[in-house]
Structure 1
């Protein structure tokens, strides 16, 4: 059993007697150098005290195996070891039955306490070792967000990013060394935040916008954003049709989507924006569009959640992709592709496919004969100038197949 002991910035004095005993009795103590310094005088004589190597993950199995051979192992971690911490990594590596977690008060809990924010009304986003743009999907008027940062330059960078995206009126409070003797804070509007040299920083965002177009345009999780929410070359599923598709696909937390014939990736991107931890795999033949999907994902704060496979859909082995919870086929809908997608879905999985040609419509009709589900013809007309007047201008009709896989 490996004991993972959470420790705060107050160090040894903040540990209860149970966690102190674990550290005192351990034959091996592993942790970051900062954590080891906090307990330097308290470990057992002769204990093997080791700082993490860099890079950590490749060396971790051998390091843990060697430590276990010597006796009791304690791993030190910041606050709650399961908040984007080493505790989660060890459980992934060894299994929950071999890892015991002893959490301290986490930095985000202390930040909420200082702000007077309840857990129910607060979103926690970690950007430690990650792109600050991970905050972007959570921005909405009135949102309260606690951001775990990598370093002292992050608050100013975060303020600049918020300003660039129209959220400069957000109240940004940077807090550092929470719970320790060097605790401090600086609060101001995001567009006025200046550099701070403090480390161990947590930022608290009370989100506000000066621009009504920002506040009402792309915020929130509902699909159907205007086509210009990403960079594209015109090959996009239009917002009204996209909203219909996503209503049938039903993004849920942690679920995975295949977007086949992804174009510029609008469906996959709104799928990921629609639910926490939702992910997507896009298959797109055109290399420029494939690169654009990756760039758009990063710009929306979805880096790491959208995988792009640049390949001809007709010649792609879909069996090598992560299992989907839902599949969208927006281009290249052939019967073999639809059959492969249907076979890959688990019971309860959702398939949505679109066609705009007579050949594509025939393909969906044939698939419907095998899978059942709903066939819908979507027609959208938008008002556009006609001389001095407005007139309805119809878009190309789209045939939609939507079906949920049963247990059979």
Structure 2
């Protein structure tokens, strides 16, 4: 049996009796050096640090004969090793004894309700992943340098007024709190931040929108899927949590960004031929904390990729593909369909007769849904109002069998 015991910065003194008893009867305990150093002399077990790569340590625990113990920070089920071991070994082999999490402690210090606070982990992500256009979050940091990096990212995204609180060694005798704003800390960051820290962020200004974004939220050169078409395109793509989109001919990256905003863990790869547009996509994605990887022209950017059981070498297999530009590029549509996994969705929008003819050919062979959208805007005609039509958009949506 595997026993995972959560421990706080206050060490053994803060543990519940059941957790102390488990550690005192252990024969082998795995953990990081910092966590193992929190154990006192009443724990006589052999202490083994996690090696590198970390996965090797998990395999060692999995394959251990008999009972083995693991010590972890706070709540092991909150972005912790508890969930990793259960995924690897099964819930029937793992018993978790959680401690109070750093998130709960941070919310208690700030007077925030936990249910209204987002939790963002930077353990395997970059600081830009913590950008939000409003609300509040507790950001779990890897080390003492990340609060300053986060402040710089927030200030660069127009969120310099955001209030930031660094909380170090939460729950321990060396606990420390420091308050500031993203703008101030981007210029003069707090010095000597302990590696054991979290950052509480109240994002300002609050510009949260749950619907698709207005067109002026994106920097663009006219190559932009307009708001109304973004709404129907996202409906056709139907993103689910944790899925990956390929946005081909991405333009400003608006579809990729809306995809990432739509659900937890949604990510995208944007393929774009023009270098300036690629730079603009990266800027737009950073502004909304969207996890968008920007690549070159399709199909060249993935033509040499090799299909394997684990996906496409170099580019992860998408759950869905959107083609917003370059449909008539030789081989593009076939290359996208080839790389789409079974059950994946492809959606293509076009406004030209040539691209529409191509979509009709594929629709006749593969089926799916073919739609045409026509939108009108009210505009001034002298002293009156008239309807000005936008270019009609033809959309083909298909799911690969």
Structures share a fold, TM > 0.5?
yes
Counterpart of 1:246 in structure 2 is 234
Which segment is superposed worse, 250-259 or 27-36? 250-259
Q: 1:272 aligns with which of 240, 248, 260?
A: 260
Report the CA distance between 1:78 and its aligned residue.
0.6
> Structure 1 length as normaliser, TM-score?
0.78
The structure-2 alpha-carbon separation of the partners of 1:238 and 1:87, relative to structure 1 and needing over 3 Å to count, comes to same
Counterpart of 1:312 in structure 2 is 299
Q: 2:215 aligns with which of 211, 216, 226?
A: 226
The answer to whether the 8 A contact 1:156-1:196 is kept is no
Matching of residue 187 in structure 1 with residue 182 in structure 2? no
Q: Aligned with 2:64: secondary structure?
A: helix
The structure-2 alpha-carbon separation of the partners of 1:315 and 1:390, relative to structure 1 and needing over 3 Å to count, comes to farther
Report the CA distance between 1:159 and its aligned residue.
3.4
- Offset from partner CA, 1:290-339 (integer Å, 9 cap, x none): 67656754564344x64757642795779654554433222344798379
Q: Aligned with 2:143: secondary structure?
A: coil
- Offset from partner CA, 1:11-67 (integer Å, 9 cap, x none): 1012222222221222211111111111041322xx3212223x33353356436x7
Matching of residue 331 in structure 1 with residue 329 in structure 2? no
Report the CA distance between 1:241 and its aligned residue.
2.7
Counterpart of 1:18 in structure 2 is 18
Q: Aligned with 1:38: secondary structure?
A: coil
Q: Give, in whole Å, the separation in 2 of the partners of 1:343 and 1:203.
A: 40
Matching of residue 118 in structure 1 with residue 105 in structure 2? no
Q: Aligned with 2:119: secondary structure?
A: strand
The answer to whether the 8 A contact 2:121-2:140 is kept is yes
Q: Aligned with 1:301: secondary structure?
A: coil
The structure-2 alpha-carbon separation of the partners of 1:103 and 1:346, relative to structure 1 and needing over 3 Å to count, comes to farther
- Offset from partner CA, 1:90-125 (integer Å, 9 cap, x none): 344444444332221110011112222223211111
Unaligned runs of 5+ in 2: none
Equivalent runs, 1:332-351 vs 2, <5 Å: 332-333=326-327, 337=333, 341=337, 344=340, 350-351=345-346
> Structure 2 length as normaliser, TM-score?
0.79
Q: 1:159 aligns with which of 151, 157, 163?
A: 151
Unaligned runs of 5+ in 1: 210-214
Counterpart of 1:204 in structure 2 is 200
Counterpart of 1:212 in structure 2 is none
Q: Give, in whole Å, the separation in 2 of the partners of 1:171 and 1:72.
A: 46
Report the CA distance between 1:383 and its aligned residue.
5.8
Counterpart of 2:374 in structure 1 is 378
Number of positions where the alignment pairs a residue of Structure 1 with one of Structure 2: 387
Q: Give, in whole Å, the separation in 1 of the partners of 2:317 and 2:295.
A: 15
Report the CA distance between 1:172 and its aligned residue.
2.2
Counterpart of 1:301 in structure 2 is 289
Q: Give, in whole Å, the separation in 1 of the partners of 2:306 and 2:285.
A: 22
- Offset from partner CA, 1:231-271 (integer Å, 9 cap, x none): x6654434443333123323332233232343453311221
Q: Aligned with 2:4: secondary structure?
A: strand
Equivalent runs, 1:358-369 vs 2, <5 Å: 358-369=353-364
The answer to whether the 8 A contact 1:153-1:195 is kept is no
Counterpart of 2:50 in structure 1 is 52
The structure-2 alpha-carbon separation of the partners of 1:260 and 1:317, relative to structure 1 and needing over 3 Å to count, comes to farther
Q: Give, in whole Å, the separation in 2 of the partners of 1:257 and 1:57.
A: 29
Q: 1:258 aligns with which of 224, 246, 251?
A: 246
Q: Give, in whole Å, the separation in 2 of the partners of 1:86 and 1:397.
A: 52
Q: Give, in whole Å, the separation in 1 of the partners of 2:146 and 2:173.
A: 22
The answer to whether the 8 A contact 1:290-1:310 is kept is no
- RMSD of the alignment, in Å? 3.8
